[in-house]
């Protein structure tokens, strides 16, 4: 494995070029046309059988070596976020208001690095399925690929994912059994009042005041309804209303991220969001509409596959850089839907002391590129020995 790591370290410059290209040209969820074409072109050049358009922009690249009937799936995501990057990078985003601030460009570059090495060496016995997935940020990509026959058209025995995580030691691996990440529900609440002049509030119905009260009321849901030993959160990430200080707006829109880890808590929390929204709107004489987005799912790692993947990582990188059990989070991942269909596991690779993902100043640690690629190669060789 030392030789493989050295070869991938020698290829870091090329992986960095792929990474920087994708970082300069980010595309939002379900609009990743050019990124998908870039990825597919690389894979075809290395001799993979490439299927595009799986779940709109998804890609599955397959290669079979030897006579084994075993197959493994490796997944990376490649969509960007609707956030303005605030960095002075030489390769910063060229698209205003859109940037790779979650590291999906790094995830894709790592899997491409592994793909190139596996195609060149062919040191495995079985079938490798490389899954490049769109629209992770909106929870649309994995369900779309599954509906389009991901696991029926491209049979595999197990599927694996990986994500970088700021705050964890760079280049080190973290594995967790069972529930690792939360289900998410992204909702939008629109309150409608009666617009008017700021000097005459008595002639208006102010949705900003109603929305401010609703924001605070929503914060009582977890604090006073969810058992303290459970985990859940209700975040109001956007409050949109009005354009001038002397105008009472007609509408106010709240965008929520609701995260839970059990079906019972999800039902409870979502029910409370509905009832509190209704009563708060009534209190302020507003009407309201709740728009529910694509729901997520709890990400559940298979314990046996997690132990096996961690053991392979230890053999490849050493005991000291592999952590099992590792941390769990209330973040969400639509890879959870893949793990509902196939056994497998999702691990984290530390990104060091950087801003958190989704922060305008977040930066993916490029030194992780050959390390992550080496993990994928080790996993393939361990499973398809």
Q: Distance (Å, rounded) from C-alpha 112 to C-alpha 136? A: 18
Handedness of CA 94, 95, 100, 104 (dihedral sign): negative
Q: Does the annotation flag 358 for ligand binding? A: yes
Q: Distance (Å, rounded) from C-alpha 209 to C-alpha 129? A: 53
Q: Distance (Å, rounded) from C-alpha 356 to C-alpha 163? A: 13
Cis peptide leading into 325, omega within 30 of 0?
Answer: yes
Q: Does the annotation flag 21 for ligand binding? A: no
Contact 295, 236 (CB under 8 A): no
Which contacts (CB < 8 Å, 24+ apart) does range 311-318 have? 312/378, 312/379, 312/382, 312/383, 313/173, 313/175, 313/347, 313/375, 313/378, 313/379, 315/1, 315/378, 315/382, 316/1, 316/5, 316/374, 316/375, 316/378, 317/173, 317/371, 317/374, 317/375
Residue from 246, 247, 242 nearest 212 by CA: 242
Instruction: Quickly tell me which residue has 């590792």 as its tokens.
Output: 326
Task: Indicate if 365 belongs to the active site.
Answer: no
3-class SS at 110? Answer: helix
Task: Indicate if 136 belongs to the active site.
Answer: yes
The 10 Å Cβ neighbour count of residue 217 is 16
Q: Which of 77, 79, 305, 334 is catalytic?
A: 79
The tokens describing 12, both together, are 């870091």
Q: Distance (Å, rounded) from C-alpha 123 to C-alpha 384? A: 9
3-class SS at 263? Answer: helix
Q: Which of 77, 136, 157, 265 is catalytic?
A: 136
* Binding residue numbers: 102, 104, 137, 163, 358
Catalogue the active-site residues.
79, 136
* Binding residue numbers for Mn(2+): 102, 104, 137, 163, 358
């Amino acid at each position: 494995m030392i030789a493989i790591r050295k070869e991938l370290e020698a290829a870091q410059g090329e992986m960095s070029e792929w990474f920087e290209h994708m970082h300069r040209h980010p595309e939002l969820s379900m609009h990743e046309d050019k990124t998908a074409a870039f990825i597919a072109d690389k894979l075809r050049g290395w001799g993979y059988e490439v299927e595009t358009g799986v779940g709109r922009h998804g890609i599955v690249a397959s290669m079979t070596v030897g006579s084994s009937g075993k197959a493994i799936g490796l997944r990376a995501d490649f969509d960007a976020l609707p956030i303005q990057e605030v960095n002075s990078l030489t390769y910063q985003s060229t698209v205003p208001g859109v940037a790779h601030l979650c590291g999906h460009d790094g995830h894709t570059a790592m899997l491409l690095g592994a793909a190139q090495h596996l195609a060149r060496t062919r040191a495995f016995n079985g079938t490798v399925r490389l899954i490049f997935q769109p629209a992770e940020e909106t929870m649309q990509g994995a369900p779309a690929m599954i509906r389009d026959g991901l696991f029926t058209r491209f049979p595999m025995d197990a599927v694996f994912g990986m994500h970088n995580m700021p705050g964890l030691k760079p280049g080190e691996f973290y594995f967790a059994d069972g529930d690792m990440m939360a289900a998410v529900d992204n909702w939008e609440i629109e309150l409608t009042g009666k617009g008017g002049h700021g000097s005459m509030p008595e002639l208006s119905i102010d949705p900003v005041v109603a929305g401010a009260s609703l924001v605070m009321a929503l914060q009582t849901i977890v604090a006073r309804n969810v058992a303290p030993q459970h985990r859940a959160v209700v975040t109001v990430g956007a409050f949109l209303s009005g354009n001038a200080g002397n105008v009472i707006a007609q509408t106010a829109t709240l965008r929520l991220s609701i995260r839970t880890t059990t079906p019972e808590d999800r039902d409870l929390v979502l029910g409370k969001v509905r009832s509190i929204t209704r009563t708060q709107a009534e209190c302020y004489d507003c009407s309201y509409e709740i728009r529910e987005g694509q729901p997520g799912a709890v990400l559940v790692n298979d314990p046996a596959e997690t132990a096996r993947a961690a053991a392979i990582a230890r053999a490849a990188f050493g005991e000291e850089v592999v952590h099992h059990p590792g941390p769990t989070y209330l973040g969400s991942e639509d890879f959870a839907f893949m793990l509902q269909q196939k056994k497998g596991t999702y691990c984290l690779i530390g990104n060091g002391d950087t801003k958190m993902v989704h922060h305008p100043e977040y930066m993916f640690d490029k030194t992780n590129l050959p390390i992550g690629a080496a993990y994928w190669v080790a996993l393939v060789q361990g499973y398809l020995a």
